[in-house]
Amino acid sequence: MLKNIIKLGGTAMIIGDLVNRVIHARSAREKAIQRNKAGMLALGVSIGCTVGAVAGILFAPRAGKETREDVGRRGSEAWEKIKDNVSASGHRLVQAVEKCEDAAKEPLQEQSGKVEKMEPKKG
């Protein structure tokens, strides 16, 4: 009889553990669905804002030709800024590499001299 009670208790614990796992998995799945819904909502809002901004620019009281010229001018200005920033970054990179190269020359020459002075080990 005691063995049956122990078996029944063990079975109940296993079933309880399985129920808890199912509940936890269901809860985790529901949370993931909620996060996905929130992400999709944020994506929809951002797309809507972008479309609205573009439509506002294109349908503004100014003539379409003026708007296109303005957009083209701003695009050209942005492109020039990007080119300037890339060029400046390239110059800074070259300077940093040259500085590292200069800093490494002396210790490298010193170690090379020591290696050249070493005699081969006689076996």
Per-residue pLDDT tens digits for 40-78: 888 889 999 989 888 887 777 767 778 788 888 998 999
Q: How confident is the model at residue 6 (pLDDT cuts 50, 70, 90)?
A: low
Q: How confident is the model at residue 5 (pLDDT cuts 50, 70, 90)?
A: low
Rounded Cα distance between 49 and 66, Å, is 23
- Judged against a pLDDT cut of 70, whether residue 4 lies above it is answered with no
Average pLDDT, the chain: 81
Domain boundaries, the chain: 70-100
- Judged against a pLDDT cut of 90, whether residue 36 lies above it is answered with no
What pLDDT does residue 104 have?
83
Rounded Cα distance between 115 and 123, Å, is 19
What pLDDT does residue 18 have?
80
Rounded Cα distance between 50 and 11, Å, is 58
AA letter at 22? V
How many Å from the N-terminal Cα to the C-terminal Cα in the chain? 83
Do the beta carbons of residue 57 and residue 71 sit within 8 Å? yes
AA letter at 121? K
What pLDDT does residue 7 have?
64
Rounded Cα distance between 22 and 121, Å, is 71
